[in-house]
Amino acid sequence: MPYMARVEKVENNPEKRSKKIHSLTYLYGKTLYFLKKLHYQLLYINITMISMFAFIFQSIPILNNHFYY
């Protein structure tokens, strides 16, 4: 893991270390926010797709011809 090695090297200097930690937490927060946004977007798309498919299936009489005796 070269990334961990880099972090260990920086660890001696406290100023650099705090900067490193701050940037890492900032990136982590940004990624979390982005993922949350993406998740809600995907949820919305999923709901719209389901409703569209329901509408299409409802409008095709061959698929629900068990209603027509």
Supply the DSSP string of 6-48, one letter for each residue: HHHHHTTSHHHHHHHHHHHHHHHHHHHHHHHHHHHHHHHHHHH
Specify the pLDDT at position 1: 43
Residue 67 lies in a domain: no
Specify the pLDDT at position 28: 78
pTM of the model: 0.36
Domain count, the chain: 1
Which domain covers residue 57, as residue numbers?
Answer: 2-62
Residue 27: which pLDDT band, with cuts at 50, 70 and 90? confident
Specify the pLDDT at position 21: 67
Residue 69 lies in a domain: no
Residue 68 lies in a domain: no
Give the H or E element holding residue 51.
helix 14-59
Is pLDDT of 14 > 70?
Answer: no
Distance CA 52, CA 8 (A): 53
Q: What is the pLDDT of residues 45-66, one digit of tens each?
A: 777 888 888 887 777 666 566 6
